[in-house]
Amino acid sequence: MSESGTGGSGRGRGAPRGGGGAGGQRGTSRGRDGSQRNAQGRERNRGPQRGFTENAPSQRTRRADPARLVAFEVLRAVASEDAYANLVLPARIRHHGLDKRDAGFATELSYGALRGQGTYDAILTRCVDRPLDQLDPAILDALRIGVHQLLAMRVPAHAALDQTVGLARAVIGAGPSALINAVLRKVSAHTLDEWLELLLSDETDETKIASIRHAHPEWIVRALRQSLVAHGRPVDEIDELLEADNAAPVVNLVALPGLGSLDEALEGGATPGELVEGSALSSGGDLGRLASVRNGSTRVQDVGSQLVARAMAAVEPGTGSSTPDTEVGTEAGERWLDLCAGPGGKAALLGALARQRGATLLANEPAPHRAKLVRQALAAVPHEVWHVRTGDGREVGAEMAESFDRVLVDAPCTGLGALRRRPESRWRRTPKDLADLGPLQRELLKSALAAVRPGGVVAYVTCSPHPAETTAVVSDVLRKREDLELLDAGAVLDSVSLTGHLEAGHEGTAQLWPHIHRTDAMFLALIRKKA
């Protein structure tokens, strides 16, 4: 839950204080626009006006609070432009000049409204007199913002109502604001727990119950149940997993080995990471103020991504053993390949590790604009260590056969393992995406295996635990290939973690989990081509 933040006061930030004209005077005055107004500020000769809140007219908020406006703009961009909230939000915060407190409020409001969309829409269906798809999308987004404040944030109900209606008046119009006011009043009649009890009182389907209670589409609930079982976890962990998806993620930092330092971040309130060397958990705020972040030697990167990148670098080619990051575990002159490098987070970490070990890195990315991001991510690593190739990763195996000692395949996937960081993706993805991505994932893995030399290692990674994107891809590609060997990925992950016992391994592969490891749900398979 968030602190009350913007709008936490009784009247909400930006609402004018109460009070009419001079004590009880009943005369009229002429406003700046030439209209005649009485002592209460109302224009004369106007018919009855429908109220938007219980406040007197002079107390109604008539402008958009900047923090709530940012949240509204983020939801609108996500819905109408297919934008990603984590990319839109920082730009809107800077545009509106929010301070740290209001930026935190806008972040919680944006992400919370997006995460809870399914549950909130089920509640709104009970409070709106028409199907939700018949509402103007902007009105629906404003309603979702209001519902999240009322049911999941420590914002007083009157402030949530007044400020949301004020937002609607400012950016949508007076008519819609009246509808929003009426609907949100119905929503405020119950707490979230009471609404869930009402919605689920006659429901017996466990999948639908979990879908509404935890705001996940039903197909994702089924998919995550299947994923738990496929990776050796009890299916009754599903509620914990769904709850972890809905928890606001802590920002993870990594100092590029041999290049960056966490001192500045730790002095600013970050705490050392508990899972991997050179990591930290940020206390929030504008990380762009840190010089080490600006110059790229310290980066924002989920610790799960850090672990799988370090695992690829730690495996000793030709033996399948692993070597701690502090030792030179590779032969000088090794060539490494990041086959799907955009936007460059893992490439930057691999580049720094390659520099320490006398290796070089080729970062391949098919999309030119993402290849540019990869170059920017690698800028802090000496340029003689790395090169960026813009091209189709499926062609690398044929063009550069047996050229690399180790290859990372961070394959395009549904992203079901990063739902806490990309709250809108759960409502965008469909089961069809699994079928569409499967052939590409297999082709990329085959290309990587063609590109790696005998004795070399390929790391197949996805930010999804779904077996259709993980174990099924690996088993399909390894089938009938006697020259390939599946290594113990769980043991290698343990070797690069600070705890040494992540317990992520299952039948040769490894799966990290938000509810267990507090990371994204990263999957890792390590495959060695026999010499």
Q: Check: CB of residue 394 under 8 Å from CB of residue 444.
A: yes
Which amino acid does the sequence have at 387? H
Give the CA angle between residues 53, 59, 60 to the nearest 5°: 45
CA-CA distance, 75 to 509, in Å (whole number)? 37
Please give the positions annotated as active site: 463
Q: Is the peptide bond before 257 cis (omega within 30 degrees of 0)?
A: no
- Cα angle at 92 between 89 and 98, to 5 degrees? 105
Kind and range of the H or E run holding 104: helix 100-115
26's CB contacts (< 8 A; 6+ apart) are 38, 39
Q: 3-state DSSP call for residue 519?
A: coil
Cis status of the peptide bond prior to 454, with omega within 30 of 0:
no
Residue 119, amino acid: T
The residue with tokens 């690996």 is 474
381/348 Cα distance (integer angstroms): 7
Looking from the CA of 528 toward its CB, the CA atoms found within 13 Å total 17
d(CA 8, CA 251): 25
Q: Nearest 5°: phi and psi at 363?
A: -105, 115
Residue with tokens 């009419």: 20
User: Residue 486 belongs to what H/E stretch?
Assistant: strand 484-486
- Closest residue by Cα to residue 282 from 299, 297, 296: 299
Q: Quickly count helices (H) and strands (E) in the chain.
A: 22, 15
User: In whole angstroms, what is the distance from residue 157 CA to residue 147 CA?
Assistant: 10
Coil, helix or strand at residue 271: strand
Strand partners, 457: 406, 528
- DSSP lists the bridge partners of residue 525 as 460
